[in-house]
Each structure stands twice: as structure tokens, then as C-alpha cells.
Amino acid sequence: MLKGRCALVTGSMGGIGGATARKLASLGCNVMIHGLASPEDGNARRDEIAAEFGVKAGFSGADLSKLPELDELVATTVRALGPIDILVNNAVARGAGPIDEISDEVWDLAVAVNLSAPFHLVRRTLPGMKKRGWGRIINLASNWGLTGTRNRGDYVATKHGLVGLTRAIALETLEYGVTCNAIAPGATLTPNAERQLNKLMADSGKDRQTVEQEFFRARQPSGRFVRPEDVAELIAFLCGDAAREMTGTPISIDGGWLAM
């Protein structure tokens, strides 16, 4: 069903986005890779996916906080790969610190990348999906988009907004063969998580196993990271025919986090 479809996956040079791009390509999708990488690195990833899976692939380093670059990202994808059938809004910006210490710049960037960019990309791709009678929109939220935490106000607020936007889009597209869902991963072993663990080890002097145990004790009762590949499999399922009646739903994949 997905062979020959065109997928745009933001933030797909690694982590969940990278695993998703590879999974969709393995199912026959032509894929636009996106990320803040050098043209050399981005084009190398593009060529690797195209060669491995026998699909068309592209790369864009568009800055999602800038509207003209969003427009160019969509136009470049359509020119290179065809009309966009699958949109995965995965790119993220995040800060850290108490609300009264978050700078204007950090807040504005989080709103631009985490919430405004998905809105603008949906607005530019949805008319074609509706016209063709088929489309899949998947927004990467977070468990922090369903609950709250300290010192992450920009991230929590924008991810809650993204879940709300998901529900609104789903209700507006019921009769067009388009679905829109949100994925809410728990702690996932991404490059950002690796940086957090390394910092915790450096600050505390503790070994990796101890730091992971302490990290999971407060969050994820499974005691394991969610694998990016597992999230990618869930996204692929949502793109398939069996998920055609699933829409407007935030779906957790979190090792029991929200069950506590």
C-alpha cells in the first residue's frame, strides 16, 4: 500500500526520525530526509537510503523556524519526489530551566519548530491529500505532551499544543481518507538522551548502569529505553490500511510510564 508514496519526515538525520525514514523507505516510500546537517552529510544519508531500498530520496537542511524555508522544503520535496502523501512532524527544539529563566529566544524557537512548523507543513500539504483522497499525518509529541514536568516549560507547552492540533486536524479530515495521530514516546535512546546520560555521568561520577537505573526509577518502569525503531514501526502501522479508523489519538509508547 505504501509503495510509491511520498513521505516527508522532519528531523530525520538520526533518532526517531532517522529510523522512521528508513522504515518507510523499506516499505517502498520515496522519502525526503531533513535535518540541520551539512549538505555533504545529508546527501550521503540520502544516497545511502536510496541505494539500500531502491527508492527515490532527497535531503533538505531547511530551518523550520523560517517560513520561506518551510515553503522551499515542501516545494523541493514535490519537485524531487512527487506530491506529499505522508507527513511526519518529528523535528524538535527544546530548552531547559525554570519558566522565569527561559529566554525569549528559547521560547520563540520552541514554538516555531515544535508547533508552528507542523501547522504550516500541514496547511501546505493537506489540500493535496484531501484532493487525492488519502493522507497520513503523524505528529511526534511526547509523554510530556500528555502530562507535565519541571524545568521544561517550553517543551511541555508546545507538545500539549501539538496534541491539540492533532485532534483538530483529525476531526476536519474525517471524510477525506486522511488520518492524523500523535505519538507520545517515553524515554527513547536518541542522540539527545545519550547527551543527557553522559552529562549525568560526568556530573555525578557514577557509572552508566547506575545513572540509567536512577533515570528510569523516576520515569519508565520497564527499566529500558524505547528504541527509535519501535516508534518507527508504530508510525508505519499508522500509515497502513489497518489503521484507517485510527485518527485524532495520542498514542503512548513508554514502557509503562503513564500507567504509574
Contact between 26 and 48 under an 8 Å Cβ cutoff? The reply is no
Evaluate whether residue 15 is within a structural domain.
yes
| pTM (predicted TM-score) | 0.95
**122 falls within a domain:** yes
pLDDT for 80: 97
Q: Which residues contact 38 (CB under 8 A, 6 or more apart)?
A: 61
pLDDT of res. 219? 81
pLDDT at 96: 87
95 falls within a domain: yes
Residue numbers in the chain where pLDDT is lower than 50 = none
pLDDT, position 19:
98
Nearest by Cα to 229 from 26, 3, 62: 26
State whether 32 and 116 are in the same domain: yes
Q: Are residues 95 and 211 in the same domain?
A: no
CATH number of the domain encompassing residue 42: 3.40.50.720
Structural domain includes residue 1 = no
pLDDT value at position 61? 98
Q: Round to whole Å and give the CA distance between 129 and 180.
A: 12
pLDDT of res. 194: 83
134 & 86 share domain: yes
Q: What is the pLDDT of residue 49?
A: 98
Structural domain containing residue 202: 189-225
At 1-43, the pLDDT tens digits run: 799 999 999 999 999 999 999 999 999 999 999 999 999 999 9
Torsion over CA of 143, 147, 150 and 155, rounded to 10 degrees? Answer: 60
Q: Is residue 44 part of a domain?
A: yes
User: 221 and 99 in one domain?
Assistant: no
110 and 215 within one domain:
no
Do 221 and 147 lie in one domain? The reply is no
pLDDT of 248 reads 98
pLDDT tens for residues 111-144? 999 999 999 999 999 999 999 999 999 999 999 9
- Considering 59, 155, 225, 257, which one is annotated as catalytic? 155
Residue 176 known to be catalytic: no
Same domain, 184 and 195: no
52 & 124 share domain: yes
pLDDT value, residue 124: 98
- Based on the fold, state whether residues 87 and 193 are members of the same structural domain: no
Closest CA to 55 of 79, 24, 34: 24
Regarding whether 213 and 102 lie in a shared domain, the answer is no
Instruction: Judge if 176 and 206 occupy the same domain.
Output: no
The verdict on residue 112 lying in a domain is yes
Residue 149 and residue 26 share a domain: yes
